[in-house]
Structure formats: C-alpha cells, structure tokens
Structure 1
Amino acid sequence: MDVEVRQETRLQQHLRAPWRGAKLGLLGIPAMLVGLWFITVISMITSLVGILLFPSAVTLLRRQTDLYRDLIRRWTGHRIERPYLPEHEYEAGAYGVLKRFVDRFTDPATWRDYLWTVADPVVVMFTAALPALFIVYGLWGFVLVAFGGALIVEHGVIEWYGFIPVDGGWEGDAVLKTSTLVLATAFTAGGFAMAPKMMDVYGRWGRLLLGPTKKSELALRVRHLTETRSEAVDASAAELRRIERDLHDGAQARLVAMGMTLGAIEHLLDKDPEKARLLLAETRQTSAQALQELRDLVRGIHPPVLADRGLGDAVKALALDHPLRPEVTVDLPGRADPPVESAAYFAVSEILTNAAKHSGASRVWIDLRYEDGTLRISVTDDGRGGARMEDGTGLRGIERRIGTFDGVLALSSPPGGPTIVTLELPCALSSPKTSPS
C-alpha cells in the first residue's frame, strides 16, 4: 500500500474516500472526450492524416491514464506501473513517423488505455463514486424531511424516497417522516462506511486494466535491470575512485612521509641521536594517524558493526555519533543479505546527513521494521520541510542505490514539516547473526 494512504487514520480514510470517489467519477467526463478523440483518429487511420495524428492521440490518451494511475496510487494505495513498451529512437522523416506509428499501434497497452476510457465511466459509478451517491441521496432525504417534502406535496408532484411515498399524506404522517430520516441516515452512514472498501475495489480494477501485460512487464523488467545494472556499475566505479583518492591523499601519503623520515633517522642515529629520537616520536604519531585513516576508510566501505551485529545495531551506532541523536526503533526478526543491509545502512546515513545539513530539525526518528516480505525504513524529522527530490540533496542517489534491489523511496515534506523519507526494499530475512563474544 502507498505510504500516503498508510499514514491516514481510519477515520480520515472514511471521511475522504467518498469525495475522492466523486472526483474520480467526474474525471470520467474528460476521459470520455479523450476516448472519443482517439476513436475519431482511428476512423481516419486509412489516410495519411490518421497516421500523422495517431501518435499525438496516443500521447493524450497516456497522459489521461497516467493521471488515473497517480490518483489511484495516492488515494487507494495500489501502485500501478506504466505498462508501455520501450520506444526506440526515431529518425526524422517519413520512416521515423511510420515507425513511431507502428510501435504505438502494436503496443497492447494503447488499446487497454482506450478500453479504460470506455469502461471506466460506468465502472466508477458502481465502485469509487457509489459511496458519494449514497451520501448525496441520504442528504436528499434530510432535505425532504426539512422542507422538500412539503414543497413536493404543495405542487402535487409524485415522488418516492426509496420505498417511502412522498404524497398528499406526507405532512401529517409522522411515521413517513421518521422512516425517511432513518433511511436517509442509513444511506449517509453506509456511504461513509463503505467508501474505503469501494476505493480499494476501484484500485484493483485500475491495476487490472492500467497495469502492465505479461509482455510489457517482461520488457519493463529487462529495461529496469539494464538501468540498475548500469547505475550499479557507475556507483561501484565511483566508490573505487573514492577509495583510491582517500588512500592516495591520506594513508599512502603518510606512509611515504614515514619512509622518508625513517631514512633521515638512519643518518642521524650516530650524528644526532636526540634529533633522531624526536623524528621517531613524530613517525609514531604519523603511523597512528595513518592507521586511523585506514580504519575510517574500512568503516566507510563496510562498517564492522554492520557485519557483526546487523542493520539495527549499525543504525543505532550511527545515531549515537549523529549531532541530533535520533531515536531509533527496530523490529527486525532476522538479517537481510549483506548487500541489502549495506545499501539500507548507507541510505540512512545519507538521509541523516541531509537532515543535519538542510532541515533545521531538532529531533529525528528512525523506524526499521520488516513487514510482508519488505524491509521498511522511515526517517522523520521535525524540520522546516519543503524538501524535494530535485533539490540535489542526494535523494536521487539513494533512490538509484536501492533501485538496484528493486527498492523504492517515498518523500513527504510539506512546507513547515515534518519531513518523512520512507524506504522499502523487498528481501528475505535469515536468522539473526552476531559475532562471537
């Protein structure tokens, strides 16, 4: 389920779901117009005009269904991947136009999108929008009891509310009014009560038709693996360059200096023992600094506490050294694979660094837990908020790092805070492993 939906209370879901369903019902109007334009272009497909217009009609159709996918993700919690087959690079000219036309025409997702625009305006009325209709009908019952029934009787209109007749005997019949109130209350309460479930049904319907087919799912998977492999190779190369640079500028330089100093000591042992003794003390200090830099470098590659004690204890140790002293909650019944633990650890480290540098926060909370085959990590701070993925805060790099393991990153950072960064990495846990005492 999507992070935004999970953060809502049950009461908020019941109150918001009917109006979200109503909006989805109203969205069917522009969807039908887009569908009509698409089928109009299809009718011209035997002419050059239809071939030229078809790619733009498909683009418009995809924008409409992308809007549905986004709303379904945010309002129902069902994440729907874009199902479209990867497109090629198209050269200019007639051949490129024809190639684009063929690719989009033969993509099964194009026709599933069109089927959505045809079927959804009907389906939505019996799923997501149905609770709103119940609530409106319930409110109409209250209006009838308050003054609407009297107006209907006065004008001699034949009207029924459910199974209750609103006729000439309405004004003097308290039983009819009481029955109407009870029925109106039932419709209104039922609309709010059933709304989250109907939204969930609608989300499943959307995932069924707007999600990838087997063919496109395989193609998307291949593309995703290609991208993440490339990113993993780039990240590994960058890490190797960083290690090489740190060794060259740090420990290696100190070891070279130690070698030169030891050479000078050899010449001074007989001539000036006192100065040789001073140089030996300096060499000892340099060797200690080189050793500390090597330890820091190893800790940056893979912290010993992470290897020995696991992700939970490693994050707790990280929190102890952080200036904001985050509160850490861990509920992990076992250990993930070392590469997953390493990616999660360095992602949390980067997020904490961002919080210290940019958020202006005074408190940070870290929650690690394992649910439904997924390692979930949330980092929350009480800072100023307003963070965005595009602000260059390293979140894109974290997203690419965990993307290698099919992980996802979600950011919630309204102006004024709080900022919540949530990581989800699918994985399996083994039994806890600790180092021997």
Structure 2
Amino acid sequence: MRQYLRDRVRISVDALEHLVGGLGTSILALATFLLSVGVMLGCLVGIGLAVVPSALKAVRSAADRERARLSRWGFELTMPPPVPADLRSALRDPWVRRECAFVATHGTLGLVLGTVGLSLPLSAVQNLLFPLYFWLLPPEAGGPGFVSWRIDGLPDALVIALMGVGWLALAVAFGPRMARLQALPGRRLLAPPPDVDTSLRIAELTATRAAALDAHAVELRRIERSLHDGAQNRLVAVTVLLGAARRALARDPARAAEVLDRAQDAAESALAELRTVVRGILPPVLDDRGLAGALHGLAAGCGVPCTVQVDVPGRCAASVEATAYFVVAEALTNVARHSGARTATVSVRRSADRLHLSVTDDGRGGADEGRGSGIRGIRRRVEAHDGRFTLTSPPGGPTTILVELACGS
C-alpha cells in the first residue's frame, strides 16, 4: 500500500507538471491561432497576404515549443524542414497544415485542460487550509471557490476541508488522464505525415552516420596525437637514457645509476601518459562506479561548485554512458574556463528508452560553437549516437546544454 501511494503521488506530480507545461504552450498556441485568424480575415479584404509568411513562422514556432516539451517527456517527434519560402508551396505543405490544426486544437482544448488541471490541486490546498484561517473572514463572506454560504464556526470550516479532500482525489484520479489528453494533439498532429516519415528518417540516419564517421576520425587523430606527443616521446627518452647508462656502466657506475633513475622517471611518466590516453577512450570509473558515481567524481573535481542529480535506474549501454560522461566532462571544463559562473547543475534522468542530460550554469552566457570551446565536439559525439543536442546561451546567461540519447541495452 505504501509503494502504491508513493507511485500515485509521483504520477500525480508528473501529471501536474505536464499540465502546467502544456498550459504555457497552449497560451502560445492560442495567441498564434488568434493571429492566424486575424490574418485570414485580413486576406479576405486583401490586406493580409503580406503577413501570411510571418504568421506561418509564428505557427511553426508554437509547434516547435510543443515538440520540445513533448520530447523532454519521452515522446520522440522529428523536427520538420523549414517552412517553404513560396506562399503557395507553404500552404500546400502537409507539415504546415498539420501545425495549423495543432494550434487551433491545443490553443483551445489544451488551455481548458491545463486550467482545470492546475485549479484542482490549488482548490484542494485552499480548502484543506481553510480551517486555519476561516476566523479571519466575516461569516457572511463564505468559503473559498464556489462556497458562498455562511461559515459560522469550525464545523462548517471542516466541511470545506472535506471538500478539499474531494478536490485532491479528483486531481489524483483525473490528472494523469488530462495530461495525456492534453498531449494528444501534439503527438498526433506534430508527428511527421505518413508519406514523409520514411524519407526524413533515411536523411536523419545518413546525417548521423556521417557524424559518427567524423567523430571516429577525430577521436583517432586525438589518440594518435596524444600517443605521438606524449607517451612516444617519453619512451624515446627512456631508450636514450638506457643507452647512456649502458655506456657509462663500465666507466662511471655512479653516473650510470643516476641515468637509470632518470630513465625510470621517464618510464613512469610514459605509463601515466598511456593511462591518460586509455581513460580518454573509455573511462574505467564508469565500470567501477557507474554513471552516477562517475558524474559525481567529475563534479567534485570541477573548479565551480556543481550539483549533480542522477535518476537512471539500471545501466545503459557502455557507449551511451561514455558519451554522457564525456559530454559532462567537456561541459564542466567549459564552465570552469569560460563562463565565469558561480554554480553549475548537472541533471541526468532516464525516461523509457531515452537518456536526458542537462548541464546548466549561471555564468555570462554567449557560448558559441564556432569559437573553439569544445561545444562542436560535444555535438559531434551526441549526433554520432543518433542523439539530440541543444545549446541555449543568451548574453548574460544562463547557459544550458540539453542532450538526449537513446539508451541501448
């Protein structure tokens, strides 16, 4: 029973979070829908054609917000191609037609469901707390919400509190269903049209395969450079020192011993370089401590105070964990070197077969892939695993990196 209650509370809280997020996107969809209706009415009198492309871009923006929201909750939605520049082609585009239907549906039904879903727990809290503050109100003022009758004392206030229990029961019972119903228009209308889904997927796989090959080539060059510039040079030094020690052994044993000590130091440095290269290929800490332990180790070594939240039951594929580890390592390195941040947060959670990772800092923002800060390498690693990478870094901050990876078994 205790486990059941915990599960119901967790499901209800998740549903409330979904409904509140959907309420935000539904307000945006309603505004976009009203804008589109105004543009359509303007077209009837010949003054709206010039703003149709802007209206369609606004519809696309609202739809993309909902795609991003649903993707964070585990619903995989493919991003559409750009809106066609030609007006006639844009109006014939199945993506555009489906998005117009989405803003009309989500802007009305989604708004109603989000409002009701938010009002139920608020009404429950208001009614449950009413016995604590009813005496501050005049009796003829009634109670919260729709309660308009006279409240003469504590027994009447307790009746209001029982009504709060009913509101809470309704929120727990219907909240998850309302959240699913609210997400339904986005899942149905924002998915790729049936006739273009296959071609988009082929193009996406072609791009990710190219990214995987590029990432593999870059990784090989990095390993070769590390071996050539580090371990190889030190091993050459060991060979030279051993030759010098062998020649000095007969003439000056003390000098030979000194040279052998230097050769031993060079050999130990070479071993350290080799360990560093090996850790760069697949960190042993992932096998020893798992993803959560490895990320906490990265946070402990970061120059900026960092909070780590990991909710990943079980283990993901080794390559996925290694990618997540390298993404966090590179992101925290950027935070410490470039951001000027005071704090950073790393969050990793698993939803169904997707691993969602975010790194946020409160620094100055303005991160750019083109300035050699390692962000392009992060994107390349993520896309090599058919994942998604999103960077948000407005001037003044905060900077947020969102990564989504498919969890292999």
Whether the 8 Å contact between 2:30 and 2:103 is mirrored in structure 1 is: no
Describe the SS at the equivalent of 1:358: helix
* Runs of 5+ consecutive residues of structure 1 not aligned to the other structure: 1-5, 42-56, 88-99, 135-177, 184-192, 430-437
**Residue 363 (1) aligns with residue 346 (2):** no
1:28 maps to: 36
Cα shift at 1:424: 2.3
Contact 1:373–1:426 (CA under 8 A) maintained in structure 2: yes
- Per-residue deviation, 1:63: 4.1
TM-score, normalised relative to structure 1: 0.62
Q: Give the structure 2 partner of residue 328 of structure 1.
A: 308
User: Which of 285, 301, 304 is the matching residue for 1:305?
Assistant: 285
Q: Number of aligned pairs?
A: 340
Q: CA deviation at 1:16?
A: 4.8
Q: Does 1:205 align with 2:185?
A: yes
User: How far off is 1:133 after superposition?
Assistant: 12
Check if 1:70 corresponds to 2:64. yes
TM-score, normalised via structure 2 length: 0.66
Q: Distance in 2 between matches of 1:278 and 1:120?
A: 79
Contact 2:99 2:189 (C-alpha < 8 Å) held by counterparts: yes
Where 1:27 maps in the other structure, the secondary structure is: helix
Tell me the equivalent position of 2:78. 81
| Equivalent position SS for 2:342 | coil
Q: 1:402 aligns with which of 363, 382, 398?
A: 382
Query: Quick one: percent identity of the two aligned structures?
Result: 39
Of the three residues 213, 221, 224, the one matched with 1:241 is 221
Q: Is the 8 A contact 1:336 1:427 kept in 2?
A: yes
Please state how far the C-alpha of 1:301 moved relative to its aligned partner.
1.3
User: What are the residue-to-residue correspondences of 1:14-413 with 2, within 5 Å?
Assistant: 16=24, 19-29=27-37, 32=40, 63=57, 65-73=59-67, 80-83=77-80, 110-111=93-94, 113-114=96-97, 117=100, 123=105, 126-128=108-110, 204-387=184-367, 392-413=372-393
Distance 1:304 1:26 in 2: 56
Q: Distance in 2 between matches of 1:112 and 1:363?
A: 41
Residue 337 of structure 1: CA displacement? Answer: 0.6
> Displacement of 1:311 after TM fit?
1.3
Deviations 1:317-359 (CA, angstroms, capped at 9, x unpaired) = 2223222252323332211111111111100101101110122
Report deviation, 1:129.
6.3
- Picking from 410, 422, 436, the partner of 2:402 is 422
CA apart distance, 1:391: 5.7
SS of the residue corresponding to residue 335 of structure 1 reads coil
TM-superposed CA distance for 1:297, in Å, is 1.1
In 1, Cα distance between the equivalents of 2:187 and 2:236?
Answer: 62
Q: 1:248 to 1:35 in 2, by over 3 A?
A: farther
Q: Closer, same or farther in 2 for the Cα pair 1:418/1:280, shift >3 Å?
A: same
Which whole-Å CA distance do the structure 2 matches of 1:319 and 1:132 have between them?
37
| 1:35 CA drift (Å) | 9.1
Unaligned residue ranges in structure 2 (runs of 5+): 1-13, 117-141, 148-170
Tell me the secondary structure at the aligned position of residue 269 of structure 1. Answer: helix
Please report the RMSD computed on the Cα atoms of aligned residues, expressed in angstroms. Answer: 4.6
How far apart in 2 are the matches of 1:18 and 1:341?
A: 35
Q: Which amino acid aligns with 1:425?
A: L
